[in-house]
Chains A and B, each alone.
Chain A
Amino acid sequence: MSAHLIEVNALVKHFPLKGGLFGGRRGAVHAVDGVTFHIDRGETLSLVGESGCGKSTVGRAVLRLLDPTDGEVWLDGERIDNLPAGKLRPLRRRMQVVFQDPFSSLNPRLSVGQIVAEPIVNFGLASGSELWDRVAGLMDKVQLPRDAMKRLPHEFSGGQRQRIGIARALAPGADIIVCDEAVSALDVSVKAQIVNLLADLQDELGLALMFISHDLAIVEHLTHRVAVMYLGKIVEIADRRTLFASPHHPYTRALLSAVPVPDPSVKRQRMILKGDVPSPINPPSGCRFHTRCPFAFDRCRSEEPELRPRAAGQSSACHLDVVPAAA
């Protein structure tokens, strides 16, 4: 269909809320409500936002770990959101995942070698001594010693386990790896090592990355483009430089002003949001951000803003063309 590696069109995921004596449907959690974006080969797109904004759900829907309620997901010109499981399996080779929690994402009963070998075996990519050569090569790639293959996951630290997870994701030769908060559970120094490793692997292998994170400081170091999500919608999508230098959407600005600057002499104007994220069961009318936006006016409460291009490579969903510097 197009040259994009991943294309997501108006993706919707609602989780039904069941309750009552007979398990009737009482409503739905609007986890993702019409999200559209694309990722090119070798590109990193970061999905950022607060907890519960639906960024992980988008990642899981792209991987088909859950079935979207509506919308389309295309992988390299092939629509995958409605493929039956049998036809989807060969395509899974091209999309892999690295999870947040390095302690629950590895089966505690399998050796590291078995864990990394599993996708290779599943897709019938290698067997016998070739298989173990390949696993050993992957251990080198993620900078783990080869004798780690014989050990069990609990013998490793969080950062090492995350390397094992990355080796597993690389194993079938994927085109895109979805990193779902892949570094959020790690210490700062280990976090940096893993981010650098991912960046190196991307350069080496031409991988595309979908980097789901709430940590803008980390995102700034490895992304090409950033999509900012709020309550199941993308409010702003832009390339890295533009987004960090001149954010348009008020929510993006609030997020950026919350990133700590490691220099005590820097004085800056903070934009602090009031209140909590509204419930995704009953999202606010109009612009979903209007309940917390310092610039909200009447139109925001009734009419939902569309994503509109602002600068080159930047789109934002706000009724204001020029957002004031501060409230």
Chain B
Amino acid sequence: MSISLGGVPAAAELPDVLPPRSERGRAMRFVLRYPTIVAGGSLLAIMVFIAIFAPWLGTRNPESISPIHRLLNPGAGHWFGTDMLGRDVYSRVLYGSRVSLGVGFSVAILASAIGMTIGVVSGFVRWLDMVLMRIMDGLMAIPGILLAIALMALTRGSVYNVVIAITIPQVPTVARLVRGVVLSLREQPFVEAAVASGTRLPKIMYKHIVPNTMAPLTVQATYICASAMVIEAILSFIGAGTPPTIPSWGNIMAEGRALWQIKPYIVFFPAVFLSITVLAVNLLGDGLRDALDPRLAKRL
């Protein structure tokens, strides 16, 4: 009952084929291999740094009005100039990053968490799947910005309400993505093997299913973060978002809009910051997508 193999040894040793490399070599290889992650990550890190340390970066109170100094051009005293109320645009833009990043990250986390729950439940519970997915279809049928405007119209303007209004239209995309991944994971032999090993359903979900949805979910979350920041700016710009007392990039642009032809810098600086941040997040997302699973490139 044995097949002779002419001296082929059993698998006993697992030799380390690759010699150990230096830390610096590893960092360098990472940069070369995933340039988009490094570029996007560092840009985003700079933005996060700015948002956290805004009070110590040579700013003054972004809300203090000084009519004598209104509409000053960018210069030594006011690096980005001042607006029609004499407020320092540099300070306002730096403080505005707190709103944008805060909204972006909160929406990404909230939408991922809610969408994930809905996706896992509808991937596992057949009869709920129909109900939940029809609700998601309904939400998807309404353009995200319109839905957010409608939701804002129903509530008072506050940053929390902005986060909720932007999150709701983002949930269906996450739910659909997670549901699809769950449905394909369910058929994987390792899940069947877990069933055969007597694993109960809740444990199969959190141990075998959920961890394997993390890679596509992370990628999706970065895209949601980017679009949430854009939507927040749009809502603020049209006056349906963050209350005007809080400086946000959308608010600053909205206030500078009337003076666009004579004082373009009021709109220009927040726009540049918004573009760079969104670009950073999208670069990071693209890089993560390629790094986590090259096959995802086709699915998303």
Contacts and interface: CB of A to CB of B under 8 A. Distances in A.
B11 A163 contact: yes
A63 B190 contact: no
B205 interface: no
A193 B188 contact: no
A192 B212 CA distance: 33
- Determine the main DSSP class of B at the interface with A: loop
Interface residues of A, number: 49
Nearest to B212: A109
Given A107-B208, A107-B212, A122 B5 contact: no
Given A108-B212, A199-B1, A143 B196 contact: no
Interface of A: 60, 63, 65, 89-90, 92-93, 95-97, 99-101, 104-110, 118-119, 122-123, 143-145, 147-148, 155-157, 159-160, 163, 165, 168, 171-172, 189, 192-193, 195-197, 199, 203, 221-222
Interface of B: 1-3, 5, 8, 10-14, 188-190, 192-200, 203, 207-208, 211-212
B10 A105 contact: no
Contacts of B188: 104-105
A155 B5 CA distance: 25
Nearest to A144: B11
B8 A65 contact: no
A196 B188 CA distance: 27
A168 B193 contact: yes
B198 A89 contact: yes
Contact of B192 (A65, A93, A221, A222): A65
Contacts of B203: 122
Contacts of B194: 107, 118
Given A65-B196, A96-B196, A159 B212 contact: no
Given A99-B189, A107-B208, A93 B198 contact: yes
A221 B3 CA distance: 7
Contact of A172 (B12, B192, B195, B198): B198
Nearest to B3: A192
Contact of A196 (B3, B13, B193, B211): B3
Contact of B198 (A65, A122, A159, A197): A122
